[in-house]
């Protein structure tokens, strides 16, 4: 089966063509980062308008790169949620219009299932079962995965997601949007142990996360450092040291919770997915931890950690092969619990 995948959940327009026999044939991604930088975050209306501008040109691009015509496409998969309502509607509308025009079936895909399955696009994909850490700007979740659609939520953030905490803390430090890569870059120049940040909710049992208090601690640290400086501003070294302390706190928290989840489930494989999974320090710490436990950690290549069409094409293909289809009604879900998805036993 050959599937055209469309991703428009937030601020990246992703298109891809995935073939169940040949693998990924083509993919293209347009990031709106430059569009949103002046506002310090994503402006939903601007995001939706940019998806309108980019979707069809990118569709033509991936079709050309794969050497495909409309008749070569067997189905269309698109992100139906969760995400920004306007952005989701743009992708769903184009997907359903193409499905109607080409006479092809379509399927709305869960955005976070796409992230969870993105490591399956690699040469050495993980085998089920495993524990998944989904860590992005909107989600921080630990999930036991027995198969596609067989998900048990082990823990999640009760307030800010880890990626959101990165972005907001970076803004406090005067770093550009998106904050994660800039904090990681500054942290490489930081001096260890200049500041001691808390590891939230690690001193109590359970697998839930909370990063709002860490964000407040970062703000208080910044204000205190500014008050100590003669010019009332942070030096570049101050920013680097705070960035390192903040990143270490987030990474330590995630690693502690992942270790607990693996011990609780008795599993030895961990998948990390979502934008924050590209963080080098997080990958290194998790690899060291899993090696010490006799386990393995899996993640997608960097280009498939952030939102992309390839993960939607892959996830959609697996469910389409299992016989799932949508009608041509345009329907999206800005909020959509991952655990509500049906399983596809016998197809994974």
Is pTM beyond 0.75? Reply is yes
Q: Tens of pLDDT along 206-236?
A: 999 999 999 999 999 999 999 999 999 999 9
Counting Cβ atoms within 10 Å, is residue 238 exposed (0-12), middle (13-18) or buried (19+)?
buried
Same domain, 177 and 276: yes
Same domain, 277 and 131: yes
Per-residue pLDDT, 234: 95
What is the end-to-end Cα distance of the chain in Å, rounded?
Answer: 15
Same domain, 86 and 101: yes
Same domain, 135 and 278: yes
Per-residue pLDDT, 347: 45
Same domain, 202 and 267: yes
Same domain, 155 and 193: yes
Contact between 112 and 82 (Cβ < 8 Å)? yes
Per-residue pLDDT, 345: 75
Residue 205 tokens, joined: 């049992």
Q: What is the mean pLDDT of residues 277-283?
A: 96
Tell me the C-alpha to C-alpha distance, in Å, between residue 310 and each of 77, 104, 305, 315, 347: 10, 19, 11, 9, 19
Annotated binding site for substrate: 134-138, 167, 180, 279
- 295 CA to centre of own chain: 23
Domain annotation covers residue 345: no
Q: Tens of pLDDT along 26-68?
A: 999 999 999 999 998 999 999 999 999 999 999 999 999 999 9
Q: Tens of pLDDT along 91-123?
A: 999 999 999 999 999 999 999 999 999 999 999
If we measure between CA atoms, which residue out of 183, 167, 161 comes closest to residue 42?
A: 167
Range of the domain at 72: 2-117+304-340
Q: In what order do the strands lie in the sheet with 2-7?
A: 23-31, 12-19, 2-7, 75-81, 106-110
**199 cis-preceded (ω within 30 degrees of 0):** no
Task: Give CA–CA dist 35/167, Å, rounded.
Answer: 16
Annotated binding site for Fe cation: 111, 115, 307
Q: Tens of pLDDT along 124-150?
A: 999 999 999 999 988 999 999 999 999
Per-residue pLDDT, 158: 95
Asked whether residue 346 carries a pLDDT value surpassing 60, the answer given is no
Per-residue pLDDT, 348: 40
Annotated binding site: 111, 115, 134-138, 167, 180, 279, 307
Domain annotation covers residue 347: no
Asked whether residue 180 carries a pLDDT value surpassing 50, the answer given is yes
Per-residue pLDDT, 137: 86
Same domain, 134 and 203: yes
CATH number at residue 214: 3.30.420.40
Same domain, 194 and 257: yes
Cα dihedral 68→100→318→115 (10° resolution): 90
CB atoms near residue 318 (< 10 Å): 23
Contact between 262 and 270 (Cβ < 8 Å)? yes
Confidence of residue 188 (pLDDT cuts 50, 70, 90): very high
**What are the two backbone dihedrals, phi and then psi, of residue 298, each rounded to the nearest 5 degrees?**
-125, 145
Domains of the chain: total = 2
Q: Scanning the structure block, which residue is given the tokens 């996360």? A: 209
Q: Name the pairing type of β-strands 75-81 and 106-110.
A: parallel
Contact between 243 and 172 (Cβ < 8 Å)? no
- Mean pLDDT over each residue of the chain, to the nearest integer: 96
Asked whether residue 312 carries a pLDDT value surpassing 60, the answer given is yes
């Amino acid at each position: 089966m050959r599937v055209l995948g469309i991703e428009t959940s937030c601020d990246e327009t992703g298109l891809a063509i995935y073939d169940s026999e040949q693998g990924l044939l083509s993919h293209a991604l347009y990031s709106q980062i430059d569009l949103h930088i002046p506002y310090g975050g994503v402006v939903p209306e601007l995001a939706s308008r940019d998806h309108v501008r980019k979707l069809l040109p990118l569709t033509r691009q991936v079709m050309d790169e794969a050497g495909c015509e409309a008749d070569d496409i067997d189905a269309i998969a698109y992100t139906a949620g969760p995400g920004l309502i306007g952005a989701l509607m743009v992708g769903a509308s184009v997907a359903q219009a193409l499905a109607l025009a080409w006479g092809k079936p379509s399927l709305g895909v869960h955005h976070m299932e796409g992230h969870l399955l993105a490591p399956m696009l690699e040469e050495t994909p993980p085998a089920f079962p495993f524990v998944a850490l989904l860590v992005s700007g909107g989600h921080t979740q630990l999930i036991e995965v027995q198969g596609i659609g067989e998900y048990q939520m082990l823990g999640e953030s009760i307030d800010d997601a880890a990626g959101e905490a990165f972005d907001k803390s970076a803004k406090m430090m005067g770093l550009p949007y998106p904050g994660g890569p800039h904090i990681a870059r500054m942290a490489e120049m930081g001096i260890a142990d200049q500041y001691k940040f808390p590891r939230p909710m690690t001193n109590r049992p359970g697998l839930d996360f909370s990063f709002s208090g860490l964000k407040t601690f970062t703000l208080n640290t910044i204000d205190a450092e500014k008050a100590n400086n003669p010019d009332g501003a942070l030096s570049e070294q101050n920013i680097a040291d705070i960035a390192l302390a903040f990143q270490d706190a987030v990474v330590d928290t995630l690693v502690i919770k992942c270790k607990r989840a693996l011990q609780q489930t008795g599993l030895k494989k961990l998948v990390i997915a979502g934008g924050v999974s590209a963080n080098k320090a997080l990958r290194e710490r998790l690899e060291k931890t899993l090696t010490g436990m006799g386990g393995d950690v899996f993640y997608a290549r960097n280009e498939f950690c952030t939102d992309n069409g390839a993960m939607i094409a892959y996830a959609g293909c697996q469910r389409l092969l299992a016989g799932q289809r949508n009608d041509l009604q345009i329907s999206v879900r800005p909020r959509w619990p991952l655990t509500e998805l049906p399983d596809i036993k016998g197809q994974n």
